[in-house]
Structure formats: structure tokens, C-alpha cells
């Protein structure tokens, strides 16, 4: 029931950035209070209702968040077959805290009924924007002084266009592979995007980061930092805040070991020579 709060405290303890989802069950303000000294970004979903966007951006600024990570790969919801097969549902106590607050402030009412199905349908309607275009990014940058980072970029063309529109960072992500089937793995597109725009903006990546060696490879191929999702959930399920701390400590220890065994005394020593693509290996046989 306090997953985001526990995660925020663990991340702050480890000196690691936490990106809070718009769909979190704890509000922007609650997470800020739980980890006042931590580095926090706000992961902003694209919404057709710009008044809700303004509300959330203003609240993130006031609560000390340092950047907006804008999810751009969900103008419509993909076909999440696994959720459909499992008939995914949420417990009654889980509510979209940020939307409840936004609607209360804007309209003086709660965002939805007590029926959890109604909540889900409302959220899915709010957080999609079929008419999404680069104009939205320009508008967003005009209403905030926070750095804008685009999350969900998978092509060099989009990365270059994002730079033209003044974004501060590119977050390479494929939404856990759930939005569009058969899209490439993020690690596969990272090198080309890093070569194309890595000298202009910072590059981040998520997806499949499970070991310290995964972090090492991502840094070697041009990422400034990596983000993790499922390992944090596993840590929460295991032992709450302490479980998340253990996951983060383990990744850091594994990265330090991998660096030492690769001859890297510092992050600056990590480069692409540490990574060989499978195709290169097979071509020698």
C-alpha cells in the first residue's frame, strides 16, 4: 500500500533518482514528503485534457521534482494481451492519487466512482492522446522551467527530432515490450541513438536491466544512466523499503565488480570496446 513511498525512501538513501508515475497510488506531494532529500523526476503521461497536465506540472514543480519524464509511446493504449488473459484487476484500496487530487482541485469532485473498473476505464481515457504531435512538446516546454525528457524513443529519427524541439534528454524505452509487439529491444537501438544525439543531450535507457553487467553494457553503449522497474517491484514484494535497498545495493555491487574485472577504474573508463555483438562473433565462425 505504500510502494512508491518505500521506493522513494530507498532511492534517496542510495542517492539514486526516482521517477514517479502519473498513475501512482501515492501523490506527488506524499512522495516528496517521504523522501525530501532525494532526487525525484515526475513521469508525466500525455493527456488530452491539458488542464490536468498543467495541474500536475505545477504540483511537481512546487514539490521539488527536478525534471519531467514525458511518456510519448502511449498516444493510444496497446493490446496488452497478458493483462487481458490474466484479467488484471486492482485491489479496492489502490486509487490514482494524482488524478483524484487534480480533479478535486480543478472541478471540486473525485475523479471516479468507488468501482475499480470505472477507475481503470477513466484513467485509460485520460492518459491517452491520439492526436499527439511535436506541438504538444513545444507547449509543455512553454509552461514549465523544468527539463523535459522524452521517454519512449526507439529511433534515431525521433531522437533527432526531439533535440530540434529542445528536450533535455532521451529516455530509450519500449514500455516493457507491452505497447507494440515486435519492437526492438532497447539495448539494440541504444548505440545508434547515442551516436546520433549523445553529444547534444543525455541518453537514458530501461528494459531488461537485471544485473550489474547489464548496467555496464548500457553505459558502454552510450547511456548516461539506466532505469529499472521490475527488480524494484521484486524488492518491494520481498521486504518493502529494505528489499528495494537490497536490490539497489546488489546492482551497485555487481556493477563495481564488473568494472573491476573489465579493467575500468572509473565510469569514464567504460567504452564500447567492452561489448561485442553476437553477429560479430558468429561472423568469425
**Which grid cell sits at 260?**
573491476
How far is residue 147 from each of residues 133, 162, 178, 255, measured CA to CA in Å?
19, 13, 27, 28
Q: What is the DSSP letter of 268?
A: G
**Which distant-in-sequence residues (6+ apart) come within 8 Å of 129 by Cβ?**
46, 47, 48, 75, 136
Catalytic residue among 107, 121, 165, 175: 175
Residue carrying the nine cell digits 530540434: 164
In three-state secondary structure terms, 203 is: strand
Q: Say which residue the cell 538513501 belongs to.
A: 13
The three cell numbers locating residue 103: 480533479
The residue assigned the cell 517491484 is 233
Residue 175 host element (H or E): none
Residues counted in the chain:
285
Residue 100: how many CB atoms within 10 A of its CB?
Answer: 16
Residue appearing with cell numbers 506527488: 28
Distance CA 143, CA 152 (A): 22
Lookup result for grid cell 555487481:
254
- Measured in whole angstroms, the distance separating CA 269 from the mean position of its chain's CA atoms is 27
Residue identified by cell 502519473 is 22
Partners of 150 in the β-ladder: 70, 170
Is 175 catalytic? The answer is yes
Active site positions, annotated: 175
Amino acid at each position: 500500500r505504500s510502494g512508491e513511498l518505500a521506493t522513494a525512501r530507498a532511492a534517496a538513501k542510495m542517492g539514486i533518482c526516482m521517477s514517479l508515475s502519473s498513475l501512482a497510488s501515492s501523490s506527488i506531494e506524499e512522495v516528496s514528503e517521504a523522501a525530501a532529500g532525494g532526487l525525484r523526476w515526475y513521469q508525466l503521461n500525455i493527456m488530452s485534457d491539458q488542464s490536468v497536465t498543467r495541474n500536475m506540472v505545477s504540483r511537481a514543480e512546487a514539490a521539488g521534482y527536478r525534471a519531467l519524464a514525458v511518456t510519448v509511446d502511449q498516444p493510444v493504449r496497446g493490446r496488452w494481451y497478458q493483462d487481458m488473459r490474466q484479467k488484471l484487476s486492482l485491489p479496492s484500496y489502490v486509487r490514482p492519487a494524482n488524478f483524484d487530487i487534480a480533479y478535486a482541485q480543478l472541478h471540486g469532485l473525485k475523479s471516479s466512482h468507488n468501482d475499480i473498473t470505472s477507475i481503470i476505464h477513466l484513467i485509460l481515457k485520460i492518459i491517452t492522446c491520439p492526436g499527439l504531435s511535436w506541438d504538444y512538446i513545444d507547449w509543455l516546454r512553454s509552461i514549465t522551467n523544468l527539463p523535459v525528457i522524452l521517454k519512449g524513443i526507439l529511433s534515431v529519427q525521433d531522437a533527432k527530432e526531439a533535440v530540434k524541439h529542445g528536450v533535455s534528454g532521451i529516455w530509450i524505452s519500449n514500455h516493457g515490450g507491452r505497447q507494440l509487439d515486435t519492437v526492438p529491444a532497447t539495448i539494440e537501438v541504444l548505440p545508434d541513438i547515442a551516436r546520433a544525439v549523445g553529444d547534444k543531450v543525455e541518453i537514458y535507457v530501461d528494459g531488461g536491466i537485471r544485473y550489474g553487467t547489464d548496467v555496464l553494457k548500457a553505459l558502454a553503449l552510450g547511456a548516461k544512466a539506466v532505469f529499472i522497474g521490475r527488480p524494484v517491484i521484486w524488492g518491494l514484494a520481498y521486504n518493502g523499503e529494505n528489499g528495494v535497498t537490497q536490490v539497489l545495493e546488489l546492482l551497485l555491487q555487481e556493477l563495481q565488480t564488473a568494472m573491476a574485472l573489465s579493467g575500468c577504474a572509473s565510469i569514464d573508463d567504460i567504452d564500447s570496446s567492452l561489448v561485442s555483438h553476437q553477429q560479430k562473433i558468429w561472423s568469425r565462425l
